[in-house]
Structure 1
């Protein structure tokens, strides 16, 4: 916002405009005289004219000023002409009109002075408004700088969050690959259990005719084996559900990564915990499979030898060996928890 021009600056600007518009020196001095007297209410002098225009010699503004005053007096003189009006009365009437014109001029000058005072007051008020506007502009610029700094900080934080999100996505993909590997391992264990059950059934059918005295024990063993197999299936189903829950948690982790990187660390810790639990249970399933295989081998040896004592000894040994692996997964699960 530009400042309001002062009277001197406005006069200088107006004279520069007249210099550019009027190339002739005498006409320029005459226009400057009229500008000073009629617009700014300043009585022109030869010295003032020369200081403002600075063209020609000092005699030029003096001559132009004399012509200006003569022309002004001639124009201010009022002539009243009438065929029947006496000359002295006409002159008196002219002087009266001249006096009225002088008073009107004085009144107009007073009004012009009041208008100047009003314009000056408006100029001062405008300058105060300019100062207030500059202060407001400074405050706005300061607020804009603060908001710009906050925006830059937010952009930096967004880039950091994007980087953390990319890292979390990579970790999620690695976790999904690990879960897929565990799922494949569980499927292989399930197939092995099915194969063991089928082989166990075939072996029982082959040994039923040769081991009539151990039929009840063999049936009990088969029932226990079936119960163990069902238990393992239940365990595998539970593990699959836990895997599904882990997958859902991983999805939730990916969504939570967009809000805060700290939540990702907590979810990854939870996923690692669940993986440890699953690994412990897988170890328990493997130990149980080994136990079943040992029991089957013992039953085969017992059926081939036909010795009840050996069968009882083998049954006791298998029961004692069965108690050991079942304790290990519990211990591992406790450690994982």
Structure 2
């Protein structure tokens, strides 16, 4: 601060304690517009006894009063004015004196407080000294115990030294392993950097392909939107046509329902007639099978005669217990033709009814 700097300059220039306190009072009052007090002066200067700032403060205010005193003893002034001026001066002196005494009382109280604090500190120092004596006695008793503990610690130290040697060996091994791991890590980082470069290149290519795909997708979306718009229009037209067709189908369905009722009645009658026709066909089919069997036997005999005539070999006689050959294709054709004829007859009968 500027005040402390000025006070330091005064301490170097003024050696007398009272003169220094008076200079500090003038500096505070006239330059910094602060009212000097004994306590504040002592805190700033810290020189001499505690009564020195109080004496210097009284001398300062006396000099100020002497320099600012107004001589009112002129013969041209009325007696009342001179009396009033004297009373005013006496009043000012009394007020100044009271203020100085109040400041002195405050300084005395501060000094007493500091004296009480110093006394308490002295008492604490005595108590600390007693505690230190007791601590010294305890330390003396503990010295013997420390000697015994020292022997145990020496033995423990030997063990720790042995353990330390083992740990150093392990540490050397660990350092070698760490060096190997660091080399492997360096290789792994280099490989990782290469892989990362490849991945970045691949990522760049993928981004380019993605942008191209996005453009194509946008074009396709636009096309799909156009197609969807056309589809909605066509769907609306289809819905309208479907409504018309549905109405026509409903009318046609009603007609078909009526026709179906009639056809069901006709079908019931046709089924009755078909039952009787199927009985007749069954008997005809039995007779036809017999004729086919006879024809097959005759054909076998003809084949045997033809072989005998061609090769001069005797005809093959059919023993009764020989199994009969399966029905030939011509026979199966005849049966299919009969079945077709039967179905055609049924359909003609139904249509006629």
Which TM-score band (shorter chain)? Answer: under 0.3
Q: TM-score, normalised by structure 2?
A: 0.26
Q: TM-score, normalised by structure 1?
A: 0.27
RCO comparison, higher one (Cα < 8 Å, 6+): 1
Q: Looking at CA atoms only, which structure, 1 or 2, has the larger radius of gyration? A: 2
